[in-house]
Amino acid sequence: MRLIVIALLLALALSSANALPLQGGNGNATVVLFGATKTPLDDENATQEILKVDVGLIGASNATYQLVDAHDDVYQAGRYKSLSSGKQTVYFLVPIDSLFKLINATPSVGAPININWWVTPKGSNDNMVIRYYGIADWLVNSDEQAVVVQVSVQNNGTKNLYVSPENFTLLDQWGWPYHPTLGFDAETVGPQKATSRVLLGFTGISLLSRPAALAYDYMTSERIIIDFERDYVPLSNELVYGDAKASAPTVGPQTAVSAAAQPASDQTAQNKSMSTQANETKEVKKLSIKDKLAASKARLEATRTGLDEKTPDTNETAAAPSSASNSTSSIAA
């Protein structure tokens, strides 16, 4: 009976996150993206940050990963941290405030896999739009956790809008509210203007709490709530490739998370820069992504070949991403 109860609780927990994981496959291997968080570098003048992607791999022993941003720039993974049961944390060093369109995975078996990245979630009312850019930092100790999120506020009204950290509330999976303890300086946003991306910090969060939603003016009738899981859906092929009819990445064998990876019908939460790119030439757009991925892999292979010539005895290690998983070296700027 106890096992049945636990199974039901797990099923309920998974059902509450049915829009977050994304997946793709090649008929041999399946890659599942569970989420991503950012971590700032120690240098306060840094122009880059670390993006950590939570990845699950099924049907292959290892894989390499590349990120493609909104400008079609390609970023190689800098570190792989093996977890349990096929899970990995994949580290990328990326420019601060980057927006991404897809992740490319090359498993040890089968063809490469492209998976469309998530949209930027947003919520709105008649006067404003709130955009949520994700977790910018997450700290945990033995007693509590602290979360830093990144947002922007757009004033769509006809009057000035006063915005401060006190307007925001973080909600956990039970709906318990947490109020910001640090953040940006309050500012007045004029009509048809927007803030830059700003940071909100929440401390004293229970270790059992999971950040689930961000609310603006939570206790008012004009409240806006962004659900971190429901509002995370994959970018449309039109925004990624510039072609509404472009074929989606091939989905591999059905798994327990296959239902969680189905795209939602609402694709309206797209950001401006991605929309602008969608209007460019369709065929050039598809070729640009593929060519840059191929060129990036060629450069990586050339680098590995050079290392192999210098140190022949490390040939196997240089080619195996599983070895990088065990590396303790940090990503360098």
Decide if pLDDT at 309 tops 60: no
List the one residue out of 184, 211, 180 whose CA is nearest residue 199.
Answer: 184
Interval 171-185: pLDDT, tens: 999 999 999 999 999
Contact 143, 207 (CB under 8 A): yes
Interval 189-229: pLDDT, tens: 999 999 999 999 999 999 999 999 999 999 999 999 999 88
Quote the tokens at residue 46. Answer: 């840094």
**Is domain 122-227 given the CATH code 2.60.40.1240 in the classification?**
yes
Decide if pLDDT at 311 tops 90: no
Contact 149, 135 (CB under 8 A): yes
For the question of whether the overall pTM of this predicted structure is more than 0.75, the answer is: no
In which band, very low, low, confident or very high, does the pLDDT at 290 lie, cut at 50, 70 and 90?
A: low
Domain positions in the chain are 2-118+236-325, 122-227
Quote the tokens at residue 14. Answer: 């998974």
User: How far, in Å, CA of 127 to CA of 222, rounded?
Assistant: 9
Which DSSP category does 264 fall into? Answer: P
User: How far, in Å, CA of 273 to CA of 119, rounded?
Assistant: 12
